[in-house]
Amino acid sequence: MAEGAADLSSVRYAAFGLGGRTYGETFSRGVVVLDETLAAAGASRFGDAGRHDAAEGRPPVRQACEWPDGTAELSRVPAPRAPHGK
């Protein structure tokens, strides 16, 4: 971790990216950059990062909702609760 960088060693996160394989090397690059940045600050990821491929034709919402079920560590994480009154 770089001097002066945030210490996120107590943070656990999950990451799911959207993209299309037709973009080649930049496919879902946002989730890769996010993952690398959080890991460099000491955070730990739950399971594997998910990636949606628009070229497959599956709706991203459906794939994102199914993704935790295929990741053992994520399937045990309780779903977040909506803020009170929402």
5 compared with 79, residue with greater pLDDT: 5
How confident is the model at residue 79, as a pLDDT? 62
Percent of all residues in the chain with a pLDDT value above 70, rounded to a whole number: 76
Q: Please state, rounded to an integer, the average pLDDT across all residues of the chain.
A: 82
Q: What predicted TM-score, i.e. pTM, was given to this entire model?
A: 0.69
Percent of the chain with pLDDT over 90: 22
Q: 25: which strand partners? A: none
How does residue 50 score in pLDDT terms, banded at 50, 70 and 90? Answer: confident
Say how far apart CA 53 and CA 12 lie, in whole Å: 25
Contact 50, 15 (CB under 8 A): yes
